[in-house]
Structure formats: structure tokens, C-alpha cells
Structure 1
Amino acid sequence: MVDKKISVIGLGLIGGSIVKALKEQMNITNIAAVDNNTESLNQALEEGYIVKGFSKLDEYIFDSDIIFICTPVSITISYIKELKDNVKDNCIITDTSSTKGRIIDYVNSLDNPPCFIGGHPMTGTEKTGFKSSYAHLFENAYYILSHTKSSADSHMDTLCKIIKGIGAIPLILDAQLHDEITATISHVPHVIASALVNLVKNSDSEDKKMQTLAAGGFKDITRIASSSPQMWENIVLSNSEKIKKTISDFIETLKSFMEYIDTNDSKSIYNFFESAKAYRDSFSDNQKGLIQPLHELVVDVVDKPGIIGDIATLLGQNGINIKNINVSNSREFEQGCLRITLPDSDSVDISYNLLTDKGYKVFKI
């Protein structure tokens, strides 16, 4: 794989993380990129992640062995249109869009399509841009791949090796099934999170009491509402039917719950929460999903001078990079008052052990 010539179109969070992972984890050096953001291109060049950068498609890109298109769905299709008659016959084109059906349908509608495999890394953050990308974004994350009529098993095997090489777990799914799953576990949850935030915004008083108290748990369950509006507009429009179906199912669930309240059906109310808890508790902690987990600890501490400094010093002396540390003033359903945000799960585990060894009562989010 080290000899492959790879191009990445779109140097945002995903595209930037791909070029970093290819270089750092697979030792692939012949990487080019296309992006209309010259700042991102220059940074990738200066840091040695790419050998060439272009603002538009070029003959150099057409000569690639593998091309990753890391752009929204509508833009991805535009790039496929431009690539399809210009790339060499054995070039594998793939994408990273959150929906697969529209793109796969377009490729399959072509009389003589290029070798295309739909792709979707099931990971990400609320941050955007090359500056937010990092090489281990894909580690232990499922990476969905979907066949088209122009992709052979040998092409899929090649791409799977790349996906494994950057630390992800390839999983081959039908495009329509993929879109049904993502509508339920990612797309509609983002709609709901944004709806909850807008509910508070529209219900709040002039003195912003709701906003003041909307911390702790509310802030956590609506964290994904901070994602890019442009990206989510594109996702919703490209998977609209499946999202509408899932929203309808969700509304029926809420209607049933309202009936439990109206009839004072305590048993059904209990079962509603109990079944959700049992199913939620069965989820694996070892895999990444579409919604990035929080890398946070909550520490139960007494409010006294120097306590934050003591904890920060302990972690800093052991090589732990603290991204944020703050006192939580709204602590309903929380088990401590000091929140520490860390860069990754390894830092969480190390910090947890360091703090508990020192006698602190610590809880993982």
C-alpha cells in the first residue's frame, strides 16, 4: 500500500484526518489534495501530509490509484461527474458522505461508471476543518462500505486494507440499509437535539433563566446541536424520506408516552424507562459510533482554595493534556461538581486511575 498514489478531495475534518492517518499509520507518502481553502492546503503541505495541493481537479489527480471524495453529497456527485471520464481504468473512487443511497443510485445510473465504492466512516466531532483533524479519528470506528455495479470484490479488498490500515473496522452494507440505520441512530438524533435547543430558546424568559440553568445533562444530550448547519442541511435533504419515516416513528413513541401520562399508567411509564435503560446499558464502550463520545471525567471535590490547581498539576505531571476544566453549577443528575475534558479515551482511563489512587471520587461520563 505504501506505493499507492492517493488523492483526497476536501481537506475538512474527515479528509484531513484521512491524509494524516495514511501518512502516520500506513507510511503512505504520495498523497495529493484538492480544496478551495488555500490555508488548509498550505498547512497540509507545510506539515508534510501531502506532496501536492490543488484548488481544482488536475491531471495529477486523474492519475491516482485511489481517490477519496470528502465533501457533501451534492458536491460529491459533481466531482464524480468530472472524474468518471478522466481517471485511469483501475482507479478506485470512494466517498465519505453520511448518506449513501443518492450517490450509489447516481453511479449505478451511468452507462460506463468508474470503479466506485460508497464509504462512510462512522466517526466525527462537532469541530470542522483541517485544523481540527487528527490521525487517530478512525481508530476502532466502523467504516461502512457499499458496492456499486462497477466495484469488484478485488476493489473492495483493496479499500478494506486501507480502511484497516488507518485503524477503522470495515463493514460492507447495502446503501439503502445504511441510510435507514443512519437516519435512526444519527440523523434524527441531531434533529431532536436541535429541536430541544430551539424549544428552550423559544420558551425562555427575557432574563434567560432557562439558558442559565441549561447546563449539565441538558448540555450533554444537546451537544450535537453544535454541529455544522450547512452539513446537516445537506444530510437531511439527501436522506429526506428515511428521516421523515424515522421522525414519524419517534412521534408515535411520544404519543404513546403521553397516553401513559393521561391514563396515569405508572406501570407503562416505568417499563418505558426500564426497557430504555436495559437496552442502553447493553451498548459496547469499546467501539466508536456516529456521534463522538465525550472524553470527560466528573470529580466529586470539596470547594476549597487550590483544589483545581492540585488536580491539574497531578494530571499535568503525568503527561495528561487537559482540554478544559470547570465547575458545574447545575448538577442535577451529576455525581460531582468538577468536569474535566480530555482529548481521548486513553487520557480518560489514565486520569481516572491517577485521581482515584489519590483518593478522589471520580466518575466517567
Structure 2
Amino acid sequence: MLGRVAVVGTGLIGASAGLAARRAGAGRVSGWDPDGDVLRVAAERGAVEAAGTLAEAVAGADLVVVAAPVAELPATVRGVLDAASQGCAVTDVGSTKSAVCAAAGGDGRFIGGHPICGAETRGPERASAELFEGATWFLTPAAGTGPGLLRRVHGFVTALGARPVAIDPDAHDRLVALTSHLPHVLANVLLNQAGASRIDGHDPLQAAGGSLRDMTRVAGANPRIWVDIFLDNREALAAALGDQRRRLEQVEAALAAGDAGFLARWIAEAAGNRRRLLATAYDDPGALQRLRVHLPDRPGVLAGIFQALGAERINVEDFEMEHLSTDRGGTLTILVAGEREAGRAANLLEAQGYGVVVAPVIDE
């Protein structure tokens, strides 16, 4: 039994936490947000019971989830700790941890948290109880955190469908600087570089292929969120950028020297690391085959393809769609495990009139 839960900040993440807590059997989920419209929508969605004040929301709560913007987290968490009872556990969902943990001042009731479940949207109207399913949820307990409070937060995270992982706040910030914040920076750099360039009168963005699209998917993310994240984690992010710069300089030096050996080792190292990355999602990354299928832009095409594959019991491990234009249609990429299954899928789709290109996901 989750007991009574309070959510402070009822945007996308907070409202999703409220919906997930209700689904998991929380006795009551109260909520408060400084934006009355946001709170009203969250309440209308059934995520929370709206409270008039922060103090009213946390009164009698067994656990409080603080889902305020990163820049507001330290002050909001401090305010919640002042208002909450001594037996209440307090956690947050911020993507940086050092500043908010410092603001808690070692209060054992606060256990910092960060669910890795980003969504490229915002607002309680898009909240979902399934948002945290299968997600890693970092927890940063203080030295004075009692085992009972830690178990309560751990149980809450697990009940929402996530996987709790304990980590030091500073280590957390260095980790996400490398795995999340640096990719956002580099995506912006790549897209701005291409957007500011002209090659003999040609616009690179109009000639871009899948590589640029894939590497810049997160570019231009909401500045209201990401400016605060970049600044809050500036030291760890600057260190990651410095390491990135040194690695780029190594590639520059290899190109200047015509060092094919370095470049071959460098690419092979990346292939091995990509295999390790894919191993977190697939049982055997080396068996994955990629099928690229050109599709016309008309209703029912995707449904027909997946129905045909399903009828032949060909399992699709993953897929993505790249739309080119209304006239040119798009490219469907399907991942299938095993050369034999990929061949069956290709033959089936080619028999239906589609052009299919098959290649291994990892080129040995």
C-alpha cells in the first residue's frame, strides 16, 4: 500500500506520477502547482486532488514528489521539507541532483530522484500512468536517511513500474552530463552548423540524409527546460565538452597525418561500444538485421505491412519511420533478429511490390 502521496508541480512528470500512483493503489494523491491552470488540468485528468496551498497538499502525506522545474527545485524542496511532517519522505524528479541535494541540507527525509523517461512534450494534458514503465529511476539518499524512508521511496518507484538505482548526487550529474546533456549540446551544434552553411549555393538542410536526422532528433528542445539544465549542471557538462574536444582533436590529427590505422581502430572501438549500448535493449545485437523499405504516403500502408509480417509470425524487434515528403513518401526501417528471418521478411515485402534493402545493424 502506497499510503498518501502528494505531488508538488503537476506538469507532465508530476501528473504522470499522480496517475501512476493512483493506478498502483495510493490511498490518496493530493496535488499543488503555482500555476492554477496546470493544477486544474491535472485534477480534471484524475491525476491529483487539487489543494489550495503547498502546505495543504503535503499535510498528512506519507510521501511527497516534487516535480518543479530544475531552477526552482532547491527552493521548492526546502519549502516542502519545512511544511511536511517529520515522518514524511520527500523526493523529486529533477534531471540534476547536486544543487537540490545541497539545498536539502542533509535532511534525511529527502531522497533525490530522477526518472530516465524523457518525453518530447509537456503539460498535464499529455500525462500518462505508463510513462515510468521500465525506466531507470536514480535515487540519491542522504547519509542520514533512515532505512524505512528509503524503503518507502524505493517501493513507490517500483510500484510505478520503474527500476530504482542508488547513486551519489555528484556521480549522477557527471553521468547525465555525458549520456543526456552532452548529446543535446552536440545535436544543437550539428544542426546550427548545417543551418548556417551554404555549399556552393546548396542548403545542407535540404540535402540532409538520415544521419543528420538521427543525430539531431533532440536538437531545439524546449529552452525553458534545457537552459536551466545546462546551467545547473554547467561544471560536469563543461568537463564532458572538454573531453569531447580532445577526442575531436585526435580525429583531426589522424586526418592530417593520413593515419588509416588510427581511424580503423577508432571506428572499431565505436562499433564495440555500440554493441554494448544495444545489448541493454536486445538479447543479441549482433543478430539484428535492418530492413529499409520505401513506402508511398497513403493510408493503410503501415498497417498492411505489419499485418503481413505478423501473419507469417515474423517478430519485429523495433521500427522507425522517416517521412520525406507527401510526394516522395518515406522510409520504414524494421529491425529483425537473424538473417533467415530478415530474408523471409524481405521476400514477403518484395512480393507485395516494395523495394527492400537488408543490412546488419552491426557491421562485423
| Residues 182/310 of structure 1: CA separation in 2 closer, same or farther (3 Å cut) | closer
Partner of 2:223: 229
1:86 and 2:86 matched: no
Q: 1:46 aligns with which of 32, 35, 44?
A: 44
1:50-72 deviation line (CA, Å, top 9, x unaligned): 22244x41324233111111122
Q: Which amino acid aligns with 2:190?
A: L
Partner of 2:93: 96
Partner of 1:146: 140
Q: Which amino acid aligns with 2:13?
A: I
| Residues 287/76 of structure 1: CA separation in 2 closer, same or farther (3 Å cut) | farther
Q: 2:208 aligns with which of 192, 209, 214?
A: 214
For residues 141 and 285 of structure 1, what CA distance do their matches in structure 2 show?
16
Q: Are 1:299 and 1:337, in contact at CA under 8 Å, matched by a contact in 2? A: no
Q: Are 2:91 and 2:111, in contact at CA under 8 Å, matched by a contact in 1? A: yes
TM superposition shift of 1:186: 1.0
Q: RCO higher in 1 or 2 (8 Å CA, sep ≥ 6)?
A: 1
Partner of 1:20: 19
Q: Which amino acid aligns with 1:268?
A: F
Partner of 1:338: 331
Q: Are 2:108 and 2:146, in contact at CA under 8 Å, matched by a contact in 1? A: no
TM superposition shift of 1:208: 6.9
Q: Which amino acid aligns with 1:359?
A: L
**Structure 1, unpaired ranges of 5+:** 289-296, 319-323, 330-335, 346-351
Partner of 1:184: 178
TM superposition shift of 1:83: 2.2
| Residues 358/88 of structure 1: CA separation in 2 closer, same or farther (3 Å cut) | farther
Count of equivalent residues: 329
1:172 and 2:172 matched: no
1:283 and 2:277 matched: yes
Q: Secondary structure at the match of 2:131?
A: helix
For residues 90 and 177 of structure 2, what CA distance do their matches in structure 1 show?
24
For residues 200 and 28 of structure 2, what CA distance do their matches in structure 1 show?
57
For residues 9 and 253 of structure 1, what CA distance do their matches in structure 2 show?
42
Structure 1 outlier segments of 4+, above 6 Å: 205-208, 362-365
For residues 137 and 204 of structure 2, what CA distance do their matches in structure 1 show?
39
1:265 and 2:259 matched: yes
| Residues 256/147 of structure 1: CA separation in 2 closer, same or farther (3 Å cut) | same
TM superposition shift of 1:79: 1.2
Q: Are 1:118 and 1:145, in contact at CA under 8 Å, matched by a contact in 2? A: yes
| Residues 10/156 of structure 1: CA separation in 2 closer, same or farther (3 Å cut) | same
Q: Which segment is superposed worse, 131-140 or 251-260?
A: 131-140
For residues 85 and 217 of structure 1, what CA distance do their matches in structure 2 show?
50
Q: Are 1:328 and 1:339, in contact at CA under 8 Å, matched by a contact in 2? A: no
1:204-225 deviation line (CA, Å, top 9, x unaligned): 4797722212352211211111
| Residues 53/203 of structure 1: CA separation in 2 closer, same or farther (3 Å cut) | farther
TM superposition shift of 1:36: 3.3
1:64 and 2:61 matched: yes
Partner of 1:311: 302
For residues 206 and 33 of structure 1, what CA distance do their matches in structure 2 show?
57
Question: How many percent of aligned residue pairs carry the same amino acid?
Answer: 24
TM superposition shift of 1:254: 0.2
1:269-291 deviation line (CA, Å, top 9, x unaligned): 11111100111112245559xxx
Q: Are 1:108 and 1:148, in contact at CA under 8 Å, matched by a contact in 2? A: no
1:76-110 deviation line (CA, Å, top 9, x unaligned): 1111232232211101111111111111122236x
Q: Secondary structure at the match of 2:164?
A: strand
State the TM-score, normalizing by the size of structure 1: 0.79
CA-based RMSD: 3.3
**Structure 2, unpaired ranges of 5+:** 283-289, 311-319, 336-340, 350-355
State the TM-score, normalizing by the size of structure 2: 0.79
1:328 and 2:324 matched: yes
Q: Are 2:51 and 2:57, in contact at CA under 8 Å, matched by a contact in 1? A: no
